[in-house]
Amino acid sequence: MLRTRTTPRTGASDPEASRKLPATARRLPAPPRRLPTASRRLRTALVASAASVCLIAASAPAPVPLGVGDRLFPHLGNPGYDVTAYDLAFAYSGSNSEPLPAVTVIEARTTADWLERFNLDHSHGTVRSVEVDGDPAEFRSAGEDLVVTPAKPLPFGARMRVTVRHDSDPVSTKDQQSGWVRTADGLAMANQADAAHRVFPGNDHPSDKAMFTIRVTAPDGYTAVANGLPAGTTRHAAGTTWTYRTEHPMATELAQVSIGRSAVLRRTGPGGLPVRDVVPAKDRRRLEPWLRKTPAQIAWMREKVGAYPFETYGLLIAEARTGFELETQTLSLFERELFTRPEYPKWYVEAIMVHELAHQWFGNSVSPRTWSDLWLNEGHATWYEALYAEEKAGKPLEARMKAAYRASDTWRRDGGPPAVPKEAEPGRKLSLFRPNVYDGSALVLYALRQEIGRTAFERLQRTWVSTHRDGVAGTADFEHLASGIAGRDLRAFFRAWLYAEKTPPMPGHPDWRSEAPAAPAAPAGKTARRALR
């Protein structure tokens, strides 16, 4: 997941035990009688004539924000339906401080017996109208949800098509963290952990992945790029419409759209993989030496864990100040300054590139069942970042893990155990990304390798990403798979390393000590910067 920077770090990572997420919905005793066609047309006309303003009957219960039961984000995600596809359309005027007219089309299947109304995650942007299966629907905001009442209840297993016409506003509200990122020449996205619904309505939880089609209209002189592969461009008076489609399902928090005066640089990766990078056009020559490293890094990761899981890869280098990098699917977001500031050593920059690349397997292809399973994503990305630094730059993995062990009790005190991370600080949702999410969770993987041996550990990594490719998995799934590969019950090991307040003894290193926790420090958060070491 997202990688904060201070300059080579000592990491962080934390998630919770996975569990089946609840899916509740209001039930009706029987389907309503279908109106004759003429009556339905009349009803539609009457609703439309009401200017698409959603007035909910006074007798109906007031709309409330819902959620799928995530411990860290209780109101994130929504019960009653499963999204299968998104079609997002944005129109960019050339100003990154003006709202973008947008249309979001959601294809979904109901999972409730009779769905009388349902919620979409959405905030920050005017909603103009909502349709369900072509008929106008009532809608009202509740917290950070958009509550939709279709013209008629939907039975279990029904396909529904929800069309929302809205504005997507890139100007941050006071408490907003990420969503649209305004760059020097346009826009990009950073939707982790719970910010996609600030850009477009949807089911904004990683447990509900879907296919994406993304269309962006921009004036002449701008280039738009998004997740997946190009699916055509159309020139017209307003400029050009760029269309992209994914070939694999994606979580909403991994969506990416870049709009700017950009150059798109193309090359071929291992096995003929299309690699495309998006950079400020003025910097293409300066950045090219870094971009040339990507195919070899993909080959290195393939050697470790198996085939690259998606249809393309590349770097989106944005001229913006975020303080982090982000593994948006097939197009990882990087700050330009990571590659241009002289204090960042070459080995460090390359290791951060590998961190975001590793997420394409760990976190993107295999997505977390809950946000408490975050340790699986960040722990693995940090592990391969550190392993790459050891193999390519002579930075010993064991020394890094020993340093992490010394700090581990402090990290657990400040951020919680890796699989039970503490909630983010009020008003600072991105403070979820503390050191226990990164090196603290990579330390768990190091302990596991010490416990079951290198051969079994490497087999576990490859089996994990192949078994759960394009899917969702959690901590319990990882424990079960690890026990099967090791040939013994590892529940006690994982209970101690993932859930205990104190760090257990390190297998094979009885001399390692975790220092007594220091005075509590302010949580690092998304914009913290790590000190070089």
Work out the angle at residue 345's Cα, subtended by the Cα atoms of residues 339 and 349, and round it to the nearest 5 degrees: 45
CA dist 84 and 203 (Å) reads: 10
What pLDDT band is residue 431 in, cutting at 50, 70 and 90? confident
Quick: pLDDT tens for 228-248.
Answer: 999 999 999 889 999 999 999
What is residue 59's predicted lDDT score, i.e. its pLDDT?
47
Nearest C-alpha neighbor of 333 from the set 320, 359, 315: 315
Nearest C-alpha neighbor of 474 from the set 83, 168, 17, 14: 17
Quick: pLDDT tens for 378-411.
Answer: 999 999 999 999 999 999 999 999 999 999 999 9
Read off the tokens for 383.
């592990």
Read off the tokens for 271.
């096995």
> What is the Cα 221 distance to its own chain's centre?
30
Q: Is the pLDDT of residue 31 over 60?
A: no
Q: For residue 82, what is the enclosing H or E element?
A: strand 81-91
- What is the rounded average pLDDT of the residues 47-52? 36
Report the relative pairing of strands 145-149 and 471-473 from DSSP bridges: unpaired
Strands across the sheet containing 274-280: 262-268, 274-280, 315-318, 332-335
Do residues 317 and 277 make contact, with C-beta atoms less than 8 angstroms apart? yes
Do residues 150 and 135 make contact, with C-beta atoms less than 8 angstroms apart? yes
What is residue 176's predicted lDDT score, i.e. its pLDDT?
57
Please tell me the least confidently modeled range out of 193-197, 274-278, 331-335.
193-197
What is residue 61's predicted lDDT score, i.e. its pLDDT?
75
What is residue 102's predicted lDDT score, i.e. its pLDDT?
98
Domains of the chain: 3-17+365-499 (1.10.390.10)
User: How many Cα atoms are found within 13 Å in the side-chain-facing hemisphere of 310?
Assistant: 32
Read off the tokens for 346.
């070459």
- What is the rounded average pLDDT of the residues 418-433? 84
Q: Is the pLDDT of residue 334 over 50?
A: yes
Write phi, then psi, for 483 (nearest 5 degrees): -65, -40
What is residue 40's predicted lDDT score, i.e. its pLDDT?
39
Please tell me the least confidently modeled range out of 91-105, 430-444, 480-494, 510-524.
510-524
Number of neighbours of residue 300 by Cβ within 10 angstroms:
18
What pLDDT band is residue 424 in, cutting at 50, 70 and 90? confident
Quick: pLDDT tens for 185-219.
Answer: 999 999 998 999 999 999 999 999 999 999 999 99
Work out the angle at residue 447's Cα, subtended by the Cα atoms of residues 531 and 332, and round it to the nearest 5 degrees: 50
CA dist 127 and 143 (Å) reads: 14
What is residue 232's predicted lDDT score, i.e. its pLDDT?
95
Q: What percent of the chain has pLDDT over 90?
A: 79
Calculate the average pLDDT of the chain: 88
What is residue 516's predicted lDDT score, i.e. its pLDDT?
79
Q: Is the pTM of this model over 0.75?
A: yes
Residues 6+ positions from 156 with CB-CB distance below 8 Å: 110, 111, 112, 113, 114
